[in-house]
Amino acid sequence: MTRTDDGAGADAPAPSAPERTRRQQYERRQLVRSIVTAALSTIAFAALLVFVVSRQERWPDVRDAFFDGGVFGDSFRPILEAFWLDVRIFLVCAPCILVFGLLVSLARSTRSPVLFPVRALATVYVDLTRGVPVILWINLIGFGVVALLSSRSFFGGYLFWGGVTLVWTYSAYVSEVFRAGIESIHESQRAGARSLGLSTWQTNRHVVIPQAVRRVVPPLMNDFVSLQKDVALVSLLGPVEALRRADVIQDRTFNFTPFVVAALMFVSVSIPLTRLADHLMAKERRRMSGTAVR
Partner 1 sequence: MSLLSYRRVRKSFGTRVVLDSIDLEVDRGQVITLIGASGSGKSTLLRCTNLLEPIDDGEIWFDGVDISEPGRKPDPVRRRIGMVFQSFNLFPHMTVLENVTLAPRKVLGRHRRDADDRARAMLDRFGLADKADDYPDRCSGGQQQRVAIVRALQMDPEVMLLDEITSALDPELVGEVLEVVRGLRGQGMTMLLATHEMAFAREISDQVCFLKDGRIHEHGSPEQIFTMPARQETRDFLARVIASGRM
DSSP string, 245-269: HHHHHHHHH--SHHHHHHHHHHHHH
Specify whether the backbone of 238 is left (phi greater than 0), alpha (psi in -120 to 50) or beta: left
- Residue 140's SS3 state is helix
- Packed helices 69-109 and 158-184: angle between N→C axes, nearest 10 degrees: 50
- Packed helices 59-66 and 257-289: angle between N→C axes, nearest 10 degrees: 80
Between 42 and 184, CB nearer to partner 1: 184
**Is residue 280 a contact point for partner 1 (CB under 8 A)?**
no
What is the spatial distance between Cα 224 and Cα 262, in angstroms, rounded to a whole number? Answer: 19
Rounded to a whole number of angstroms, the minimum distance from the CB of residue 285 to partner 1 is: 16
Q: Which of 280, 292, 283 is nearest to 222 (CA)?
A: 280
Q: Please say whether the beta carbons of 40 and 32 come within 8 A.
A: no
**Is residue 118 a contact point for partner 1 (CB under 8 A)?**
no
Rounded to a whole number of angstroms, the minimum distance from the CB of residue 278 to partner 1 is: 23
Between 119 and 194, CB nearer to partner 1: 194
By CB under 8 A, the residues from 186 to 245 that bind partner 1 are: 188-189, 191-199, 202, 206-207, 210-211, 214
Rounded to a whole number of angstroms, the minimum distance from the CB of residue 119 to partner 1 is: 22
Contact flags string 168-197 toward partner 1, x per CB under 8 A: --------------------xx-xxxxxxx
Rounded to a whole number of angstroms, the minimum distance from the CB of residue 178 to partner 1 is: 16
Binding-site size for partner 1 (CB under 8 A) equals: 17
Supply the DSSP symbol for 16: P
Between 186 and 252, CB nearer to partner 1: 186
Between 88 and 190, CB nearer to partner 1: 190
Rounded to a whole number of angstroms, the minimum distance from the CB of residue 223 to partner 1 is: 23
Interface with partner 1 by CB under 8 A: which residues?
188-189, 191-199, 202, 206-207, 210-211, 214
